[in-house]
């Protein structure tokens, strides 16, 4: 699943390409489960509600993409496992995995000059449309924790020390921190030399300070490199990310540890996997 750096890469790509454009029409091939509308829209449909709306802003909250439209509407998108946005200036043959195609006009609003495809071969991605006054009361947004790049070190330490959960599941909990997933949790714990099963309340202030530093350092570096492409992720321009070449723990099971040479191992914690060095990250 795309994590904070990948979603931020998509958001920045969308800002450069679709902001201030108008949605002239929509081609829809999405299953009913992929589209959700506010109950306040009554009998209006997705295409009717979006037609003619101007795109004012594109922002991110955790792993969620928020596209602000005229008439006080927000298109809320979650890429889930395999969702992608692709932007092009020329009509392309419709791919069978294109769930939604937004046909956009330039600032004059006179003619279609570009197209934004929402493509998802596993069809888990979600597009939801809400009035702005309802948006932040929706499950999936209202319970989100602080942004990892915004939380202070003191608040991060207090948050960890007040929890008696294992640190890896805590970092993956979107109500604890919004945006981290398996890749950056594994990498951050690896560089901070913290075992993923260590109880967060038992970790020293010094170790948590180091963990906070590496979370922010790795996220910033990943954003600079347009995210990690270990499966199918790519940006709005179709180009893959480059951060996978910096990974030291995630997907490195059996490889020698960067620090000590011991083999990286992978274990299951609940339903999720964790990659770490048992010598450097002692429980």
pLDDT tens, 192-216? 999 999 999 999 999 999 999 999 9
Q: Is 148 inside a domain boundary?
A: no
Tokens coding 106: 């330039």
d(CA 279, CA 282): 6
For residue 106, give Cα distances in angstroms to 15, 55, 89, 196, 251.
14, 11, 11, 49, 43
Q: Which CATH number does the domain housing residue 176 bear?
A: 1.10.8.50
- What is the pLDDT averaged over residues 127-146? 97
CA distance 37 to 238: 29
Structural domain count, the chain = 2
- Asked if residue 118 and residue 23 are part of one domain, the reply reads yes
**CA separation (Å) from 70 to 60, 74, 77?**
18, 9, 17
Mean pLDDT of 85-105: 89
Q: Is 131 in the same domain as 24?
A: yes
Please identify which residue in the block is written with the tokens 């640190």: 167
Q: How many helices (H) and strands (E) does the chain have?
A: 7, 11
Residue 241 confidence (pLDDT) = 94
Residues taking part in catalysis: 2-3, 63, 272
pLDDT band at 91 (very low <50, low <70, confident <90, very high): confident
Contacts of 261 (CB under 8 A, 6+ apart): none
In this predicted structure, what is the pLDDT of residue 32? 87
Instruction: Please provide the average confidence, as pLDDT, over all residues in the chain.
Output: 95
Least confident of 2-16, 109-123, 132-146: 109-123
Answer yes or no: are the C-beta atoms of 167 and 135 closer than 8 Å: no
- The reply to whether 283 falls in a domain is no
In a domain, 244, yes or no: yes
Based on the fold, state whether residues 85 and 157 are members of the same structural domain: no
Confidence of residue 261 (pLDDT cuts 50, 70, 90): very high
Residue 77 has pLDDT above 80, yes or no: yes
- Is 141 among the domain residues? no
* Cα diameter, the chain: 64
Q: In sequence order, what are the residues at sequence separation of 6 or more whose Cβ sits closer than 8 angstroms to the Cβ of residue 50?
A: 23, 26, 69, 75, 102, 129
pLDDT digits (tens, 9 = 90+) for 230-250: 877 899 999 999 999 999 999
* Same domain? 190 vs 258: yes
pLDDT value for 96: 87
Q: Where residue 15 falls among pLDDT bands split at 50, 70, 90?
A: very high
Residues contacting 228, CB < 8 A, separation 6+: 3, 5, 6, 183, 222, 241, 243, 244, 247
pTM, full prediction: 0.95
Instruction: Determine the pLDDT at residue 95.
Output: 83
**145 is a domain residue:** no
**The predicted structure's pLDDT at residue 201:** 97
In a domain, 235, yes or no: yes
Question: Nearest 5°: CA angle at 105, between 102 and 110?
Answer: 140
CATH number, position 70: 3.20.190.10
Range of the domain at 18: 4-135
Tokens of 253: 């099971």
Q: Measured between alpha carbons, how far is residue 207 from residues 89, 133, 203 in Å?
A: 49, 41, 6
The pLDDT-based confidence of 37 (bands split at 50, 70, 90) is very high
DSSP secondary structure letter of residue 10? H
- 163-173 pLDDT, tens per residue? 999 999 999 99
- Tell me what pLDDT residue 43 has: 83
| Structural domain includes residue 231 | yes
């Amino acid at each position: 699943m795309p994590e904070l750096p990948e979603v931020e890469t998509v958001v920045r790509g969308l800002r450069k390409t679709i902001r201030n454009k108008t949605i002239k029409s929509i081609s829809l091939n999405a299953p009913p489960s992929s589209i959700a509308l506010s109950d306040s829209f009554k009998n209006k449909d997705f295409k009717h509600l979006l037609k003619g709306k101007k795109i004012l802003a594109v922002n991110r909250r955790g792993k969620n993409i928020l596209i602000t439209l005229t008439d006080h509407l927000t298109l809320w998108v979650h890429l889930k496992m395999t969702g992608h946005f692709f932007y092009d200036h020329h009509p392309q043959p419709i791919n069978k995995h294109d769930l939604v195609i937004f046909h956009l006009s330039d600032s004059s609003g006179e003619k279609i000059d570009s197209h934004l495809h929402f493509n998802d071969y596993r069809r888990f991605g979600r597009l939801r449309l809400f009035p702005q006054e309802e948006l932040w009361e929706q499950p999936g947004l209202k319970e989100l924790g602080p942004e990892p790049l915004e939380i202070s070190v003191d608040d991060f330490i207090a948050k960890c020390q007040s929890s008696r959960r294992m640190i890896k599941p805590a970092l993956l909990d979107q109500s604890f921190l919004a945006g981290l997933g398996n890749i950056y949790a594994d990498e951050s714990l690896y560089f901070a030399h913290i075992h993923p099963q260590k109880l967060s309340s038992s970790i020293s202030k010094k170790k948590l300070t180091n963990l906070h530093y590496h979370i922010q350092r790795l996220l910033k570096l990943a954003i600079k490199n347009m995210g990690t492409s270990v499966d199918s992720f790519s940006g709005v321009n179709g180009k893959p990310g480059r951060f996978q070449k910096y990974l030291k723990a995630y997907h490195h099971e059996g490889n020698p540890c960067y620090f000590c040479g011991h083999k990286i191992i992978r274990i299951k914690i609940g339903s999720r996997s964790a990659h770490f060095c048992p010598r450097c990250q002692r429980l």
